[in-house]
Chain A
Amino acid sequence: MNKSSIGICAVFLALSSLAAAAGAVFCQDQFLFSPGHESITVAFRQFSSLIVGDWQHYGRLFITWQPALFRQIFFWTIVSLPLVFLLHYLSIGPKSFSHQKGEVFYFGVFSRIVHWIAAVFFSLLVLTGLTMVFGKLFGGGAFVRSARYIHIISALIFAVDAPIMFLIWVKDMLPMPYDLKWFLIMGGYLSRAKRPVPAGRFNAGQKIWFWLSTLGGGFMAWTGYQMFSFDVQTEALRFAAIVHNFLGAALAGFFIIHLYMSLFAIKGSLQSMLTGYKSLEEVEILHSRYKAG
């Protein structure tokens, strides 16, 4: 080895040690956090937040309630209410009013059409919804799948119809002080006597049904759209499914109440929604605060 090569070696060594020193200063982070230093626990936590996410929140709640609770709530809603109403029909009985005293024009033709469109597609929504909730009983497959498609189509039509219904009736559906009295006597349905009941154009029960089916229906449409499109975070999806089930059970319950009241409990109620006329006696008793015109 001659002198010149020793010199080159010395310069090379000097330069490389300088570079290493500079590297150590500027890239300290890189040396401290080399792959070997990254703990596997930290990595697993990162994987969990990316893959599992917030599952612990609503995911856990959803798998706690969906296997049994939701179905039980729906079951008891559609079994207990008809039973209670059967007892009511047998013990207290329906109310019927004479049309001799005259008739009051109650529902305009437009509101009747809007009502019946809502009625048809809301019935479909309830029936197909229940079909899906109790899908096991039908064995799933094409029948329950068709129910799901009908549910979606009916929802689209109801979502257009319900806002119109809302605008037609919202003025008469605002809460009034006498609505509390209506609740205290349960709308007079617990007695056979024909005493005037404190209610305007619509009684307090009808008002709840109205707000639940329009505003609640809006929430159903919103959560339902999320469940249909999957266009949101999984966490929001789980929340939507939970809300949709609880609210759905409440709506199914009030739907049954509405059916009983209109078809059985008050004779002639169905005709009034077909012809638009209510008996004057009925209006004086069940809607005593109503001023026509």
Chain B
Amino acid sequence: MARMKFLCDVERCIDCNGCVIACKEGNNVPVGVNRRRVITINEGRPGERSVSISCMHCSDAPCIAVCPVKAIYQREDGIVLVNKDICIGCGYCFMACPFGAPQFPSGQVFGARGAMDKCTFCAGGPAETFSEKERKLYGQNRIAEGKPPLCAAMCSTKALLAGDADVISDIFRKRAFQRGSGAGAWGWDKAYGGK
């Protein structure tokens, strides 16, 4: 089975934040939560580069390991999802994540955090596929529709690639070869560790 991964080509990302908006608008994301964010270095100076970051859907994901209630699980295609009915909002996944992916809406009982929200790779959630509950809690299920995640589909420079790891790394390899630079994908060593 194909292993789904994200790859952001920092030579192409132009910090337009289209991915962030597309994800937020298309996925019914709670107020105060951004599932994806763009980080820019050397802004306005030579050497400016940007990278778009969300949940990397790690192999051997630390969030799954630390969750005290087993609310997080990994699909066979590598997509990491959270079950919001089980999540207690303790925040351990946020502490474990190297990418700062898990997000929490506020405004529950006594200002306590609600269930964790994070990038679903636009694969919905554990609720019934295409159900109203899935749409409300987790957003679209574009993977089940055979479409790529909103962020990557929306990316104007095609910096953000999402999909079968073999296919996207092949595209990236060709690009790097053609332009003779950027032969690395930020975060891949941390998230996938050669797997």
Residues of A within 8 A of B (CB): 30, 33-35, 37-38, 40, 42-44, 46-48, 50-52, 55, 59, 62-63, 66-67, 132-136, 138-141, 144-145, 147-149, 152-153, 227-228, 230, 234, 237-238, 241
Interface of A is mostly: helix
Using a CB–CB distance below 8 Å, which chain B residues touch chain A?
10, 39, 41-42, 46-49, 51, 53, 62, 65-66, 68-71, 85-92, 94-96, 98-100, 104, 109-110, 112-113, 181-184, 186-187, 190
With a cutoff of 8 Å between Cβ atoms, the chain B residues found around residue A51 in the complex are: 39, 51, 53, 98-100, 187
- Can you list 28 A-B contacts (CB < 8 A)? A33-B46, A35-B48, A37-B47, A38-B42, A38-B46, A38-B47, A40-B184, A43-B10, A44-B186, A46-B42, A47-B39, A51-B51, A52-B99, A52-B190, A62-B92, A62-B95, A63-B65, A67-B65, A133-B68, A136-B68, A140-B69, A140-B86, A148-B88, A149-B109, A149-B110, A153-B110, A230-B91, A234-B100
Nearest CB to that of A31 among chain B residues?
Answer: B46
A132 to B89 alpha-carbon distance, docked (Å): 11
Contact B98 A59 (CB under 8 A): yes
Which A-B residue pairs are the 9 nearest by beta carbons? A140-B69, A38-B47, A140-B86, A135-B69, A66-B66, A135-B68, A63-B62, A67-B65, A145-B88
Is B96 in contact with A62, judged by CB distance below 8 angstroms?
Answer: yes
Complex CA distance for A67 and B92, rounded to whole angstroms: 10
Of the candidates A33, A52, A145, the one whose C-beta lies within 8 Å of that of B98 is A52
Nearest B residue to A242, CB-CB: B95
Verify B95–A50 contact, CB threshold 8 A.
no
Residues of B within 8 A of A132 (CB): 68, 88, 90
Q: Give the interface SS of chain B, mostly helix, strand, loop or mixed.
A: loop
Interface centre among A62, A140, A144 (most CB of B within 10 A): A140
How far in angstroms is the closest Cβ of chain B from A228? 7
Give the distance in Å from the alpha carbon of A248 to the alpha carbon of B96 in the complex: 20
Given contacts A34-B46, A59-B95, A136-B70, contact A50 B41 (CB under 8 A): yes
Complexed CA–CA distance, A135 and B62 (Å): 17
Alpha-carbon distance A33/B70, docked complex (angstroms): 49
